[in-house]
Amino acid sequence: MRVSVDVGGTFTDVIALDEATGSIRLEKVATTPSNPAEGVLQAFQKAEAAPEEIGFFVHGTTLGINAMLTRSGAKVAIVTTIGFRDVYLLQRTDRIPMYDFKYRKPESLVPRYLCFEVEERLNYKGQVLTPFNKEQARDVVKKIRATGAQSIAVCFLHSYANPEHELLMEQVVKEEAPEISVTLSSNLSREYREYERTSTTVIDAYVKPITRTYLTRLDNELRQGGFNGHFLMTRSGGGAMTLETAKEQPVHLVLSGPAGGVIGGAYLGKLIGQPNLITFDMGGTSLDASLIAGGRPTIENQQVFQTLPISIPTIDIHTIGSGGGSIAWVDPGGHLQVGPKSAGADPGPVCYGKGGENVTFTDAALVIGYLDAGNFLGGEIKIDPELARAAIARLGDKLGMSADDVAAGIVHISEAKMAGAVRVISIERGYHPKDFALCAFGGGGAFVAANVARELGIPRAIIPPGPGNFSAFGMLMVDVVHDYSQTSIIELADMDVTAVNDVYAKLSAQGHDALAYDGFEPERRTFMPTAEMRYRGQEHTVNVPMPGLEITAEQIPGIVEAFNKVHQQQYGHSMMEDPIEIVTLRLRAVGLLPRPDLPMIERGSGSVDAARKGTRDVYVREQRARVTYTVYDRMKLGAGDSIHGPAIIEEPSSTTMVHANDVLTVGDYGELAIQVG
**Co-location of 147 and 97 in the same domain:** yes
In a domain, 639, yes or no: no
Mean pLDDT over residues 457-464, rounded?
97
> How many separate domains does the chain show?
5
Q: What is the CATH number of the domain that holds 137?
A: 3.40.50
Please report, for residues 15, 106, 445, 470, 650, the alpha-carbon distance to residue 11 in angstroms, rounded to integers and kept in the order given: 13, 28, 15, 13, 19
Do residues 189 and 283 both lie within one domain?
no
The pLDDT value given to residue 545: 94
Q: What letter does residue 514 receive in the DSSP assignment?
A: H
Region of 351 (left: φ > 0; alpha: ψ -120 to 50; beta: rest) is: alpha
Residue 606 lies in a domain: no
Q: Are residues 450 and 313 in the same domain?
A: yes
pLDDT of residue 480: 92
Kindly report whether the peptide bond that precedes residue 646 is cis, defined as omega within 30 degrees of 0: yes
Q: Both 496 and 581 in a single domain? A: yes
Mean local confidence (pLDDT), 249-267? 88
Query: How does residue 555 score in pLDDT terms, banded at 50, 70 and 90?
Result: very high
Q: 154: Cβ–Cβ under 8 A, 6 or more apart, which residues?
A: 78, 79, 80, 166, 169, 170, 173, 182, 183, 184, 185, 201
How far apart (Å, rounded) are the C-alpha atoms in residues 424 and 634? Answer: 32
Q: Which residues pair with 277 in a beta bridge?
A: 292, 437
Kindly state whether residues 496 and 433 are assigned to the same domain: no
Domain boundary among 535, 564, 591: 591
pLDDT at 412: 97
For 82-111, write each residue's pLDDT tens digit: 999 999 999 887 777 778 887 777 789 999
- Ranges of beta strands (E only) in 226-342 are 230-234, 240-242, 277-282, 287-293, 296-297, 299-300, 303-305, 308-310, 314-315, 317-320, 326-330, 336-342
- 82 and 48 in a common domain: no
Give percent above pLDDT 70 in the chain. 99
Closest CA to 207 of 147, 242, 249, 155: 249
Q: What is the mean pLDDT of residues 174-201?
A: 95
Domain assignment present for residue 520? The answer is: yes
Of the candidates 380, 412, 444, which is a domain's last residue? 412
Residue 440 is predicted with a pLDDT of 97
Cis peptide bond upstream of 340, omega within 30: yes
Q: What is the mean pLDDT of residues 432-446?
A: 94
Q: Are the CB atoms for 146 and 110 separated by under 8 Å?
A: no
Q: Where are any strands of DSSP class E within 261-325?
A: 277-282, 287-293, 296-297, 299-300, 303-305, 308-310, 314-315, 317-320
Of 677 and 506, the one with more pLDDT: 506
Looking at the structure, tell me whether residues 125 and 159 fall in a common domain: yes
Residue 345 lies in a domain: yes
Residue 495 sits at φ, ψ, to 5 deg, of -65, 135
Residues 388 and 466 in one domain: no
Asked if residue 9 has pLDDT above 70, the reply is no
Mean pLDDT for all residues in the chain: 92
Is 498 domain-assigned? yes
Q: Which of the listed residues 450, 475, 500 is the one where a domain comes to its end?
A: 475
Categorize the per-residue pLDDT at 348 as very low, low, confident or very high, splitting at 50, 70 and 90: confident
Single pTM value for the model? 0.85
**Domain co-membership, 434 together with 495:** no
- 49 versus 351: which is more confidently predicted? 351
* Residue % of the chain over a pLDDT of 90: 69
288-313: average pLDDT: 88
Q: Which of 45-49, 150-154, 262-266, 666-670 has the lowest mean pLDDT?
A: 45-49
675, 663 Cβ separation under 8 angstroms: yes
End-to-end CA distance of the chain: 42
SS3 615: strand
Does the pLDDT value for residue 461 go beyond 90?
yes
Q: How far is the CA of 278 from the CAs of 302, 340, 543, 641, in angstroms? A: 20, 22, 20, 24
Q: Residue 51: what residue type?
A: P
146 is a domain residue: yes
Do residues 311 and 379 share a domain? no
Provide the pLDDT confidence category of residue 259 given band limits of 50, 70 and 90. confident
Is 54 or 647 the better-scoring residue by pLDDT? 647
Beta strands 56-60 and 2-7: pairing type?
Answer: parallel
pLDDT at 22: 75
Residue among 618, 658, 659, 279 at smallest CA distance from 439: 279
Together in a domain, 121 and 192: yes
In a domain, 633, yes or no: no
Domain coverage including residue 456:
256-321+414-475
**342 — pLDDT class (breaks 50, 70, 90):** confident
Tell me if 326 sits within 8 A of 350, measured CB to CB.
Answer: no
664 falls within a domain: no
Give pLDDT tens digits for 602-643: 999 889 999 999 999 999 999 999 999 999 999 999 999 999
Cβ neighbours for 398, distance < 8 A, ≥ 6 positions apart: 330, 334
3-state secondary structure of 500: helix
Closest among 468, 328, 472 to 408, alpha carbons compared? 328
Question: What is the mean pLDDT of the segment spanning 446-472?
Answer: 94
Interatomic CA distance for residues 72 and 86, integer angstroms: 23
Query: Residue 201: phi, psi to the nearest 5?
Result: -65, -40
* CATH, residue 310: 3.30.420.40
For the stretch 385-430, pLDDT in tens is 999 999 999 999 999 999 999 999 999 999 999 999 999 999 988 8
Domain identity same for 82 and 197: yes
543, 593 in Cβ contact below 8 A?
no
The pLDDT score that the predictor gives to residue 377 is 73
